[in-house]
Amino acid sequence: MKIFHDIKSIRAELKKHQNIAPNIGLVPTMGAIHDGHLSLVKQIKQQCSTTVATIFVNQKQFNNPEDYQNYPNTLAVDIEKLKNSGVDILFNPSADEIYNPNFATTVGVNKLTDQLCGKTRPGHFDGVALIITKLFNIIKPATAIFGEKDFQQLQIIKKLTSDLNFDTKIISGKIIREDDGLAMSSRNLRLSKKAREIAPQIYQTLLKIRKQISHSNLEAILLSASQELSKAGFGVIDYLQICDEENLQPINFFNNQIKSRIFIAIYLDKIRLIDNLKI
C-alpha cells in the first residue's frame, strides 16, 4: 500500500492508474478503522481495479470542538488494517494540505440537511459536502462507497454527486455491528466500560420499535422507547424518528408503501451515538 500526504503526489500516482486501470474506487474515512470501514473496502475491491482509502479528520464537519479534540487517532494500527485488507493507496493529508489559510469556499446541500442530524449539528453536513467535493476532485473516483450507518450522509452525498455532475457512482454498505448489536463506530472507543455495556440497547430498541410498528400508534411507541432508554441510563435523545428513506421527512403514520427507516441519535457518556434500521 502506497501512502501519500500531499495532493500533488497522489494526483501523479493516480494518473498512472487512470491510464492503465481507470476504475478507481474510493473509501473515505476519518480513521480509527474498524470492521465497518473494512467491509466498505472489501465491497469496493470487488468492483474496482484500484482501491483508494482516505484518512482525514475533517475539522469543518465538527460542530463541537471537544468532539474534534477527542476524536480517536490510531493511525499506525489503521495503516496495518488497511494494508492487510488490500487497499492500494492511502491518502492521509494534513489539515493544512486540505485547507490553506486563505480557504474561503463553502458547499451546501439544501432540504435533506434540514432533518435529523442537520437540526442538532449546524454546519456538519456543509463540512461533509465540502470534504467530499474536494476528495472527488482530487481522486476522481469512478465509484465511492459510504456506509448506511450514516444514512443521512449517504443520501446527501448522492444528491451532491448528482447535482454537481460528478462522474462518480455512489454505492453503499450495510451497517456492521458488534456481536451484541451495537453499530460499529470509531466513537465507541471513547465509551466507559459501563456505558459500553448498556450501549447495545440502542439496537434492541430499534428492533423492538420495528416489531410494534404495524399495529400500534407510532407516537406512543416512540415515546415509550425514549422513556425506556432514559431509564436505562442514556442521556439526551437528539431524535428518535421514523423517516422516509428518500427525502428523510418524518413519518407520523406507518405506511408500508413508503420505504422508511427508524433513526436515532442519542448521548451516552457525553458521546453522541447514531444508528438506524430499515423497516
Residues making contact with ligand AMP (CB under 6 A)? 29-30, 36-37, 39-40, 146-147, 149-150, 173, 175-176, 183-186
User: Which runs of consecutive H residues, i.e. helices, occur in the chain?
Assistant: 7-20, 35-47, 65-69, 75-84, 95-98, 117-120, 124-139, 151-163, 193-198, 201-212, 218-232
- Nearer to ligand AMP among residue 221 and residue 269 (C-beta): 269
5: Cα separation from own chain's centroid = 22
Q: Is 37 a catalytic residue?
A: yes
Calpha distance 159→76 (Å, rounded): 34
State the catalytic residue, choosing from 5, 17, 37, 124: 37
Q: Which is nearer to ligand AMP, 148 or 269 (CB)?
A: 148
Separation in Å, CA 7 to CA 14, 50, 92, 161:
10, 17, 10, 21
Is the Cβ of residue 37 or residue 124 nearer to ligand AMP in the bound state? 37
Nearer Cβ to ligand AMP, position 221 or 275?
275
Structure-block grid coordinates of residue 242: 421514523
State the nearest-atom distance from the C-beta of 50 to ligand AMP, in Å: 19
Complex with ligand AMP: residue 40 or 138, whichever CB lies closer: 40
Assess contact for 266 and 273: CB atoms under 8 A. Answer: yes
Rounded Cα–Cα distance for residues 201 and 184 (Å): 14
Q: How far is the CB of 58 from ligand AMP (least distance, A)?
A: 8
Three cell numbers at 108?
451546501
Provide the terminal-to-terminal Cα distance of the chain, rounded to the nearest Å. Answer: 39
Single-letter residue type at 117: C
Catalytic residues: 37
